[in-house]
Chains A and B, each alone.
Chain A
Amino acid sequence: DVKVTQSSRYLVKRTGEKVFLECVQDMDHENMFWYRQDPGLGLRLIYFSYDVKMKEKGDIPEGYSVSREKKERFSLILESASTNQTSMYLCASSARMRGAGTGELFFGEGSRLTVL
């Protein structure tokens, strides 16, 4: 079975702190994604990576950066956390599919971040 593991299920941070959210997948997938999920707003894409060291901005990249130094690991970084970044963060991975760009998506368990 595909496994996408997010290192922290729950985090509480203070405004201005630097926050790292880690995601590891074990299926050798090319594509990896970071979403945030908020009530009433649904899932919104923050960043997408289609290969090692490659990244593309999603719909809401402001205030976030990412790192993909190894194929299996995709990190989301909040350089200076703010209260409006309190949210559920979801990592996903998928295989690259010719023509469609992405195959079936597999999500991690999510990281609930609270910024005080």
Chain B
Amino acid sequence: KQEVTQIPAALSVPEGENLVLNCSFTDSAIYNLQWFRQDPGKGLTSLLLIQSSQREQTSGRLNASLDKSSGRSTLYIAASQPGDSATYLCAVIQGAQKLVFGQGTRLTINP
């Protein structure tokens, strides 16, 4: 059974820092991996989708990498801003309805 773990559960850093969020999974037989952010009381906003044939994807200050063999993905946020404060979730996609979500990392950027 696929298990997805995000460590740490919470992270607080000063504004301007570069930071890395981690996502690990136990079964490397995945199709895609997707990163989301969720603001309190809201839905999930898609950040990046990495297909299994790709090793990384970039969007603005965000860069996500995928290493299937080691069961790891990282989300790199450059020059963090207070507006980046949110919960970040990763989801491993193994099929049409086989999506396994991590519990998320709650990120706080302090001005």
Chain A interface (Cβ < 8 Å from any Cβ of B): 4, 6, 31, 33, 42-43, 45, 48, 50, 56, 58, 88, 90, 92, 96-97, 99-110, 112
Contact = CB atoms under 8 A, between A and B. Distances in A.
Nearest to B97: A48
Interface stretch (B10-18, B20-28, B38-46, B73-81): B38-46
A74 B84 CA distance: 31
8 contacts: A43-B101, A90-B44, A92-B44, A101-B98, A103-B49, A105-B44, A107-B45, A110-B43
Interface of B: 31-32, 34, 36, 41-46, 49, 51-52, 89, 91, 93, 95-99, 101-104
Nearest to A57: B97
A100 B95 contact: yes
